[in-house]
Amino acid sequence: QVHKIPQSIHDISNGDHILGFGVELAEHHPGFHDEEYKKRRSYIGNLAKLHKIGEPIPHVEYSDEEIKIWGEILGKLTYLHPTHACKRYLDTFQLFNFVPDRLPCLQELSEVLMMRTGWQIRPVAGLLHPTDFLNAMAFRTFHCTQYVRHGSQPMYTPEPDICHEILGHIPLLADPEFANLVQLIGLASLRASKQEMLHLTKLYWYTVEFGTVKERDGVKAFGAGLLSSFGELQHMLSGEDGSMPIFEDLDPFKKLPKMDHKCGFQKRYFLCENFSDVASKLTAYAKSL
Ligand code: H2B
Ligand code: FE
């Protein structure tokens, strides 16, 4: 089996390795028994599959219900962000002028990123295989889902949706230092063995998805899984659900805990000094590969 190292984003498919709707989560997925919803999700997913790098991202006309879900999430999160999000996120968030009655389109967000940091967005039909997902980051490309989560549980989704991408990932990708750090993981992934790939997936998970950072007035979130989840942000600081999380220093050379995708909130977060601290640790690890 020859593994060809991708030379550019054109060598990475956004359609070959989608872990499709409801995989593993089938029965728990809030939209699993909603045929209308599944049709909508696959319609939007198919648009993504047809997209070619360099072309504008197809425009999706969102329904009133979808916009309502977005508006509700945006409203709740902007209430928590001032106290729970890291400073860099609060700064880059301002660039986008998000409003509750309009769901931003990926094309315009991609243009802002391109101007700020040279990153681009590529639409994807669902959860992409970690190898393709991480490899694409080497070429400053972030795969984003374009469908909206199911409306029965607006504050929860078992898989990424556009609200998670926009409110979790996009703002910080406009921060040059953070954008470089994300690319580092991507670059390290290009030649990684299977085992190293699993480790990089965990490094991604414990930084870009669930990372926390020390600031003058306490612990703040920079991970997208935190920034896009009202419940998880509260859990991070107060353990209001009765289980105070643990904070640990990140050491990329150490074995990292198994990722927990399903069972509620994270029990442990990795706490970093700042983005340049994360970047130098990741660089050191990448050099060892
Ligand atoms: N695919 C998509 N579409 N969005 C993600 O946020 C995502 C992904 N995350 N694939 C990846 C996997 C991540 O959880 C790691 C690398 O497995
Ligand atoms: Fe994510």
Atom 6 (ligand 1) nearest CA: 160
- How high is the pLDDT of residue 15? 79
Give the residue from 263, 22, 270, 66 showing the smallest Cα distance to 162.
66
- The DSSP H or E segment spanning 153 is none
DSSP of 261-287, one letter per residue?
Answer: SSSSS-SEEEEES-HHHHHHHHHHHHH
Tell me, yes or no, if the pTM score tops 0.80: yes
pLDDT in tens, 32-75: 888 899 899 989 999 999 999 999 999 999 999 999 999 999 99
pLDDT in tens, 156-198: 888 899 999 999 999 999 999 999 999 999 999 999 999 999 9
Tell me which of 19, 133, 157, 183 to substitute to probe ligand 1's pocket, judged by most ligand atoms within 8 Å of the beta carbon. Answer: 133
- How high is the pLDDT of residue 53? 95
Tell how far CA 168 is from the center of its chain.
6
Q: At what angle do helices 176-190 and 130-138 cross, to 10 degrees?
A: 120
The answer to whether 229 is a known catalytic residue is no
The answer to whether 150 is a known catalytic residue is no
Confidence of residue 117 (pLDDT cuts 50, 70, 90): very high
Give the residue from 228, 222, 225, 220 showing the smallest Cα distance to 266.
225
> Does residue 26 register a pLDDT over 90?
no
Give the position of tokens 């209308």.
36
Whole-number Å distance, alpha carbon 74 to ligand 1 midpoint, is 22
The answer to whether 55 is a known catalytic residue is no
> Hey, which residues does 212 pair with through a beta bridge?
221, 271
Pick the range with the lowest mean pLDDT from 103-112, 123-132, 207-216, 253-262: 253-262
More confident residue, 236 or 260: 236
**Conformation bin of residue 239: beta by default, left when phi > 0, alpha when psi is -120 to 50:** left
More confident residue, 129 or 3: 129
Give the residue from 200, 248, 207 showing the smallest Cα distance to 226.
207
The answer to whether 10 is a known catalytic residue is no
| Cβ of 160 less than 6 Å from ligand 1 | yes
pLDDT in tens, 237-275: 986 666 789 999 999 999 998 987 666 789 899 999 999
Confidence of residue 20 (pLDDT cuts 50, 70, 90): low
Mean pLDDT, the chain, as a whole number? 92
Set 51, 209, 229, 232: catalytic member: 209
ipTM above 0.90, yes or no: yes
